Amino acid sequence: MCGITGIISRNNKYHDLLGTLMTRIAHRGPDNQGQWSNGRVSFGHLRLKIIDLSERAAQPMICPVTGNILVFNGEIYNYKEIRAELESVYPFRSDSDTEVILAAFSHWGISFFQKLRGMFAFGLYDATQQKVLLARDRLGIKPLYYRQNNDGFLFSSEIKGLINLPDLPQSPNLQKVFAFLAYRHLDTDTETFFTEIQLRRRRTPGWMKTAYHRRPSPTGKFRSPEHVFLRKRTKKPSWKP
């Protein structure tokens, strides 16, 4: 179990919160902590070492080919098979499944998501397109929560990383609380116990959330994320478990 968190904003006060977000979920990664920021996008990672125990697998991880940045929580079950396809075109520096995600995105672009088999949640900064891709495994095993307003977008592995922050109030989602107490409904949709905090969708094959920070909107405010579907949703998804 690792922890990931990130901020997309043109307002420095939000990026100053990265340390707070990481402290809130520090229990998820007792072995190491890492941060990366370019002033518009900030990533934090709390690491629990499992596959590659060396510092070469530390995160946030930077792709030597594209300069893309990745924070990743989970496990890619078929990472060795994907790596075997890429070893002739990508200079691997570690034995981690984290780097396989970077290499796959570098080589195949966004369609790489269709190749992944595992449980995961990650944030990937595309340095060329200057956008952030957020993804969660198809069954929703690994958590990924987010909140947004006109000034920024924040995500975290746990809700506690996104509440009780300066100038970011939250209010109870009473309908969701009632659904849990009355029917034990939990994680059945994107809503949480807080109206301002959402759970990244699951059960939709290839669904990603893209949060742009490159160009301001006509109002000068932060652009709201767009939903990007890699495939059309059907009754019988074509992906394999």
pLDDT per residue as tens digits for the range 70-111: 999 999 999 999 999 999 999 999 999 999 999 999 999 988
Cα–Cα distance measured from residue 24 to residue 7, given in angstroms and rounded to the nearest whole number: 15
Structural domain span for residue 79: 3-169+199-229
Catalytic residue status for 2: yes
Asked whether residue 186 is assigned to any structural domain, the reply reads no
Identify the active-site residue in 1, 2, 17, 237.
Answer: 2
Helix (H) or strand (E) holding 224: none
Confidence (pTM): 0.85
| CATH number, domain containing residue 83 | 3.60.20.10
Other C-beta atoms closer than 10 Å to the C-beta of 38 total: 13
Per-residue confidence (pLDDT) for residue 202, from 0 to 100:
59
pLDDT at position 221 over 60: no
- pLDDT bucket at 228, cuts 50 / 70 / 90: very low
Per-residue confidence (pLDDT) for residue 34, from 0 to 100:
96
Asked whether residue 21 is assigned to any structural domain, the reply reads yes
Which has more pLDDT, 47 or 231?
A: 47
Asked whether residue 139 is assigned to any structural domain, the reply reads yes
Cβ(63)–Cβ(70) below 8 Å: yes
The count of domains in the chain is 1
Which residues, in sequence order, are bridge partners of residue 35? 44
